[in-house]
Structure 1
Amino acid sequence: MGSLRKLRKAIGKSLSSTSVAVPMAPKGVCLSVYECYVVIDNGILELTLSKPGGIVTGIKYNGIDNLMEIRNKEDNRGYWDLVWSEPGSAGVFDVVKGTDFEVILEDESQVEVSFIRSWDLSLKGSRVPLKIDKRFIVLHGMSGFYSYAIYEHLEGWPDFNMAETRVAFKLRKDKFHYMAMADDKQRIMPMPDDRLPGRCQQLAYPEAVFLKNSINPNLIGEVDDKYQYSCDNKDNKVHGWISLEPLIGFWQITPSDEFRTGGPTKQNLTSHVGPTTLAVFVSGHYSGDALVPKFRNGEYWKKVFGPVFIYLNSSLGETDPRVLWEDAYLQMKTEVDSWPYVFPLSEDYHKANQRGSVTGRLLVRDRYIDDNDLYASSAYIGLALPGEVGSWQRECKGYQFWTRAEVNGSFSINNVLTGEYNLYAWVPGFIGDYMYGLTITVMAGNSIDLGDLIYQPPRDGPTLWEIGYPDRSSAEFYVPEPNPNHVNKLYLNHPERYRQYGLWERYADLYPEGDLVYTIGLSDCKKDWFFAHVTRKNEQNSYSPTTWQIRFKLNCIDQAGIYMLRVAIASATLSELQVRFNDIKASPAHFSTGLIGRDNSIARHGIHGLYWLYNIVVQTRWLLEGENTIFLTQARSASPFQGIMYDYIRLEGPLNS
């Protein structure tokens, strides 16, 4: 338990730098098992779980009998849940309730308890075919508790889809009003009653409401939408709520991304009006069906989700809620540094000595930029289940392990679970995806050094012109001011101003007569390229396709040369991009993506979803000496949310063009 003692010492050091109080535990961890409840008390907090369901019904802390919403039914306070379906059927929301209870460990230093829900053929069609083992851990001296779960689908069990799984906590609405998820993303939030009829007006979808009669008059006229608080996995380490009287913080800390699907840039919900705090592990948000795990032909599958840490803190005479946020952020750092934990007791949770590592250096070779290989500085480099180039972003059954490369391209991926992986990467500033050519077998205690790896991004000639910056996001393009009647004040003058509601409607305001025209050499993508290629709303409340133009000059056409248009898309929602060269009426279009994407990033303020790269060979007969125009049509227009977010566009051609 030496590592555990170091963890506690580090926590004490981090807390001493703030005015945050963590009561000293006068006793060891105490477990009390009753007929319908399990109570775990470490002298700092008292955790009450239903038995055998394993629902968090109560958390007693710092003189407050229960931090959970006591007006909710007990199974609607703190719980694991999932959304599942049989193939071809609608999704079913399922709060996971155990049927068997077991004490895994009980001593003064640690209590770990298990709530298991099994499955057999008598439950076919009525319950998801999974064995689920939910675990809760309380340690001596720790101001919080841990939870993790093992999901298992045995060979031969029925097929199913799992659209979502997560842990949810619903806190007392009479106390928790302040939400925080980053240094610059925290605020007083609306009350849940503000979303009831009479106090709000629903906007384009149920999650978004206009607050017309808020309980807090300072919030009247704002928009509330839970998707405005979404976050990339890589940035989604700590978020939660603060009670102002008394000053108490409730924080959800996720120390590792390894068990979350979709890689570091997958977006998930965090905290939102409820007050609700979420730890999301699997979801189709900002990706659609591509990130819904589908289990077929009785395949065997097992995965450990978590542990995640629920951290509680309070102040010593402070009134500024940021003090608790700063302390929670320090606690998050401690938890991340302590991963993988030493204390979970399931044999399916692998400790550090059961894991391996992969190191190397990634270089970029693009002779049209530099005669020498370039360092893949800040590249995203990761291990995921074997697949194809770029398949990691749609992988949703296994574990993923990611890191960022150093300035010189060096990387080290540590604490990797044993198994077979492909190594994937993408480099900001360059299009496309890298994949190491061989499958990598990671073994316990081994470190694999891959040496220097070379990524050659797609390239057939020098850049004639480009729009944007290849970083898999459209954030560098023009993001308009919101409709003044549809504002979230948090995002006024904020780097994430794209989180504002209704920005898709601003396109027609800015281009009331014709569509966007971008002239190479004159236009500025930060001012003149709208962040999303959306549909146009008509007077009859219908929508029509929009066609953007890129105008550019070619001094001459090299008939023997190669011209290539690279179109990198940061997100797509039920869209079809048609590309035409110098003939807006060309039928069929010179290029079409076909119907792509279910990200819904436009409606959910996401600025990116899944990445798509199209390499379009441009026939010289499509081009003209002198003035040229490329027409980009987003041809699907049944709703305002069908559209594309571009990442980057580049035309390559011979040097003398």
Structure 2
Amino acid sequence: MSSSSSKAKSWMCGCCGNGGGVEPGPDAPTHQAVQLQILDRYVVLDNGIARVTISKPGGIVTGIAYNGIDNLLESRNVEDNRGYWDLVWNDDTTPGTFDTIKASNFQVIMSNDDQVEVSFSRQWDPSLKGKLVPLNIDKRFIMLRGSSGFYTYAIYEHMNDWPGFSMGETRITFKLNKQWFHYMAVADNRQRYMPLPDDRMPGRCQPLAYAEAVLLTNPVEPNLKGEVDDKYQYSCDNKDIQVHGWICTDQPTGFWQITPSYEYRSGGPVKQNLTSHVGPTSLSVFYSGHYAGDALVPKFGDGEPWKRVFGPVFIYCNSCPKDVDFHSLWEDAKKQLVVETENWPYSFPASEDFPKPDQRGKVSGRLLIRDRCVCDDHIPGSGAYVGLAPPGAPGSWQTEIKGYQFWTTADENGLFSINGIREGDYNLYAYVPGVIGDYKCDAVITITAGCDAQMGELVYEPPRDGPTLWEIGIPDRTAAEFYAPDPNPNYVNQLYVNHPDRFRQYGLWERYAEVYPNEDLVYTIGVSDYRKDWFFAQVPRNTDKGYVGTTWQVKFKLDEVDQKGNYKLRLAIASATLAEVQVRINDPNANRPIFTTGLIGRDNSIARHGCHGLHWLYHVDVQGSKLVKGDNTLFLTQPRNQSPFQGILYDYLRLEGPPTTNAI
């Protein structure tokens, strides 16, 4: 480190020139001007707190010096495997190709005492067809005076005369120094000392059902022996990926990715993405098919114009004295998240493609719920997720990929306000935890710079034909409320023992046959408890003859039946992986079910320890002639059985009586 950087010994937390925070110690040179040094093969940004070295013209972050540590990144890796933007793409001639995005042009965008912004770009032309993704890509890095870290964002552009392609993934990756960073923090209750990358090498681990999961058999730290390591165990919803990272405990230092907005991620608030995992690796994923499959892989046609800004993401570094609890670094990173969020959208990025605060608009209103079978009055949409996304059908936001989305959470009265919206045409969408279905305001909302669109009171009438006869679960788009068994004692991640996210343990799909060794699940309305008696996933049964499909039963009584009426089964599915649900009533051997979803889903949520993927909602007509007074049985068959991971995660089931029935 430079002599000025090496002085940064005191607790440098929250010291960000664009928003304040906890003041650093007296020795921290927070008022030093930002310095830009351009060398033959590198560009160096230095504000006296952190020093960032970037390859030129490739735009790969090769070094981050901070708190007396020469390089927070893994200097034993080759330079293009330390801090980089990457993507996976293919076209009609090129199979899936991983591209560590290396630029060919370097440019200084801005350089003064308070801010440096540099650009590393590459331009596409037809001679590169089949060799590089047909995109112009401009990677930007920003350092501010007094800021304990740096920002990065990128601009991707596809021109109207270029060939089509698809992009399976794009992200930022940082490989941290394994000598220093051993403690990972993803959330308040998801923190732990992690295995080393060496522990995943032959001789130290046993491969499990897929490449990402291993059993640690001879780890460097003996206390980790017998644990499972799998990067998918640390996935989060977009709405929850705000701050995550790693802590060096020997010389207390934190490395964090802070994301004050997810407007530039695909799939809305509940799309799941990777965060941090063994490496030590820190990710910011913008596009991926994880927990969704091909539905979240953008496909661009020949000549389809498109431009997208990903980020900025703040790479934040902090430190504390050795006699201070290192967990304080996590607490400080959360405080810095508040600072960054209050300053979003940022005013300092120089690109015209990132609109400033005064170039954006605002939408506000109140969401009410009208369910005539629950309450005669309108109910406030308390806790509703309300968002703007490109125009589409209700719920289309969850598979929307190419545009921007802007979301907020309504207060207890259903009031909402969405700020910082880019100019464009949108629909307003919402869903309410505890209420079935998706809301969409039919009006197209046109956002212009400085506009304040007042929507007034919006009323959502969720799907409803008749009164509820029975229900199972909570309509919250997840299977989290259902029964997840303890893991096989031989395949445990200690983090999730007695943890609310117990479904993140490895191998739970195999426990179904142990919980139900002879017969499939039978659930009796009025007797069974979905928290204990409804297995979280309907998966194939593992038998001596291989995997076989399963049929679950829901037993219920009806005091009376309208033989000429039409009943309705609401079937909400939280995730599906190459699966099918066939519905039969009172006759499990009927050749034709009264309903089938057909083959649906590529979420892979069961294997990837997720309690949800894409959400599916079906409205199944049940003729009264199929029902009898007294005992009835609903049969739910999942027949697909080529893989243990083919299955269904249910969200919620409800049987409604006919509109004219008096049943409650």
Residue 222 of structure 1 contacts residue 489 of structure 1 at CA under 8 Å; is this kept in 2?
Answer: yes
Are 2:651 and 1:647 equivalent residues in the alignment? yes
Are 2:376 and 1:371 equivalent residues in the alignment? yes
> Which moved further from structure 2: 548-557 or 159-168?
548-557
What's the offset of the Cα at 1:7?
8.8
2:127, 2:96 → 1: CA distance?
A: 20
Aligned to 2:10: none
Aligned to 1:357: 362
Cα displacement string for residues 321-341 of structure 1 (whole angstroms, at most 9, x for unaligned residues): 211111111111111111011
2:412, 2:122 → 1: CA distance?
A: 48
2:326, 2:555 → 1: CA distance?
A: 52
Aligned to 1:248: 253
Residue 259 of structure 1 contacts residue 304 of structure 1 at CA under 8 Å; is this kept in 2?
Answer: yes
What's the offset of the Cα at 1:11?
5.3
Are 2:574 and 1:566 equivalent residues in the alignment? no
2:424, 2:582 → 1: CA distance?
A: 42
1:120, 1:10 → 2: CA distance?
A: 38
Out of 614, 618, 622, the residue aligned to residue 622 of structure 2 is 618
Out of 599, 614, 634, the residue aligned to residue 603 of structure 2 is 599
What's the offset of the Cα at 1:641?
0.4
Out of 407, 410, 422, the residue aligned to residue 405 of structure 1 is 410
Residue 146 of structure 1 contacts residue 309 of structure 1 at CA under 8 Å; is this kept in 2?
Answer: yes
What's the offset of the Cα at 1:127?
0.6
What's the offset of the Cα at 1:9?
6.5
- Count of residues paired in the alignment: 648
The alignment partner of 1:166 has SS state of strand
2:181, 2:30 → 1: CA distance?
A: 25
Aligned to 1:77: 82
Residue 21 of structure 1 contacts residue 314 of structure 1 at CA under 8 Å; is this kept in 2?
Answer: no
What amino acid maps onto 2:103 in structure 1?
G
Cα displacement string for residues 105-148 of structure 1 (whole angstroms, at most 9, x for unaligned residues): 11111110000111000000111000000000011111100000
2:554, 2:476 → 1: CA distance?
A: 21
Aligned to 2:217: 212
What's the offset of the Cα at 1:436?
0.4
The alignment partner of 1:570 has SS state of strand
Aligned to 1:64: 69
Aligned to 1:99: 104
Out of 553, 559, 569, the residue aligned to residue 555 of structure 1 is 559
Out of 293, 303, 321, the residue aligned to residue 298 of structure 1 is 303
2:323, 2:103 → 1: CA distance?
A: 41
What's the offset of the Cα at 1:246?
1.0
Out of 334, 353, 360, the residue aligned to residue 348 of structure 1 is 353
Are 2:594 and 1:586 equivalent residues in the alignment? no
Normalised by the size of structure 1, how large is the TM-score? 0.97
Out of 281, 306, 311, the residue aligned to residue 316 of structure 2 is 311
Question: Superposed, which structure 2 residues align to 1:190-339 within 5 Å?
Answer: 190-318=195-323, 320-339=325-344
What's the offset of the Cα at 1:406?
1.1
Out of 428, 432, 438, the residue aligned to residue 433 of structure 1 is 438
Question: Superposed, which structure 2 residues align to 1:117-156 within 5 Å?
Answer: 117-156=122-161
What's the offset of the Cα at 1:554?
1.3
Aligned to 2:450: 445
What amino acid maps onto 1:544 in structure 2?
V
Aligned to 2:22: 14
The alignment partner of 2:21 has SS state of helix
What amino acid maps onto 1:13 in structure 2?
G
1:228, 1:100 → 2: CA distance?
A: 38
**1:125–1:433 Cα change, 3 Å:** same
The alignment partner of 2:442 has SS state of coil
1:311, 1:656 → 2: CA distance?
A: 60
2:31, 2:616 → 1: CA distance?
A: 57
Question: Superposed, which structure 2 residues align to 1:377-526 within 5 Å?
Answer: 377-526=382-531
2:639, 2:23 → 1: CA distance?
A: 56
1:479, 1:630 → 2: CA distance?
A: 22
1:348, 1:552 → 2: CA distance?
A: 58
What amino acid maps onto 2:175 in structure 1?
K
What amino acid maps onto 2:133 in structure 1?
V
2:40, 2:193 → 1: CA distance?
A: 40
Out of 540, 548, 559, the residue aligned to residue 544 of structure 1 is 548
The alignment partner of 1:531 has SS state of coil
What's the offset of the Cα at 1:14?
3.1
Out of 630, 639, 645, the residue aligned to residue 635 of structure 1 is 639
2:662, 2:334 → 1: CA distance?
A: 55
Aligned to 1:3: none
What amino acid maps onto 2:514 in structure 1?
D
Residue 464 of structure 1 contacts residue 650 of structure 1 at CA under 8 Å; is this kept in 2?
Answer: yes
What amino acid maps onto 2:568 in structure 1?
M
Question: Superposed, which structure 2 residues align to 1:179-194 within 5 Å?
Answer: 179-194=184-199
Cα displacement string for residues 164-218 of structure 1 (whole angstroms, at most 9, x for unaligned residues): 0000000111111110111111110000000011100011111000001010011
Aligned to 1:160: 165
> Which moved further from structure 2: 62-71 or 610-619?
62-71
The alignment partner of 1:579 has SS state of strand
What's the offset of the Cα at 1:22?
8.4
1:326, 1:15 → 2: CA distance?
A: 15
What amino acid maps onto 1:623 in structure 2?
L
> Which moved further from structure 2: 561-570 or 20-29?
20-29
Residue 365 of structure 2 contacts residue 416 of structure 2 at CA under 8 Å; is this kept in 1?
Answer: yes
What amino acid maps onto 2:560 in structure 1?
C
Residue 20 of structure 2 contacts residue 339 of structure 2 at CA under 8 Å; is this kept in 1?
Answer: no
Which ranges in structure 1 are unaligned for 5 or more consecutive residues? 1-5
What amino acid maps onto 2:389 in structure 1?
A
1:69, 1:338 → 2: CA distance?
A: 31
Q: Percent identity?
A: 63
What's the offset of the Cα at 1:560?
3.3
Cα displacement string for residues 268-324 of structure 1 (whole angstroms, at most 9, x for unaligned residues): 000000000000111111000001011013110001000000001111233532111
What amino acid maps onto 1:174 in structure 2?
Q
The alignment partner of 2:333 has SS state of helix
2:559, 2:97 → 1: CA distance?
A: 60
What amino acid maps onto 1:485 in structure 2?
N
Out of 38, 51, 55, the residue aligned to residue 33 of structure 1 is 38
Normalised by the size of structure 2, how large is the TM-score? 0.96
What's the offset of the Cα at 1:244?
1.5
Residue 516 of structure 1 contacts residue 547 of structure 1 at CA under 8 Å; is this kept in 2?
Answer: yes
Superposed CA RMSD in Å reads 1.4
Residue 366 of structure 2 contacts residue 416 of structure 2 at CA under 8 Å; is this kept in 1?
Answer: yes
What's the offset of the Cα at 1:24?
2.2
1:411, 1:21 → 2: CA distance?
A: 42
What's the offset of the Cα at 1:621?
2.1
> Which moved further from structure 2: 390-399 or 580-589?
580-589
Which ranges in structure 2 are unaligned for 5 or more consecutive residues? 1-13
The alignment partner of 1:341 has SS state of coil
The alignment partner of 1:13 has SS state of coil
What's the offset of the Cα at 1:60?
1.0
Aligned to 2:537: 532
2:74, 2:18 → 1: CA distance?
A: 32
Cα displacement string for residues 586-610 of structure 1 (whole angstroms, at most 9, x for unaligned residues): 1121110001001100001110011
Cα displacement string for residues 210-232 of structure 1 (whole angstroms, at most 9, x for unaligned residues): 00101001101100000000001
1:78, 1:23 → 2: CA distance?
A: 25
2:568, 2:139 → 1: CA distance?
A: 53
Residue 98 of structure 1 contacts residue 117 of structure 1 at CA under 8 Å; is this kept in 2?
Answer: yes
What amino acid maps onto 2:57 in structure 1?
P
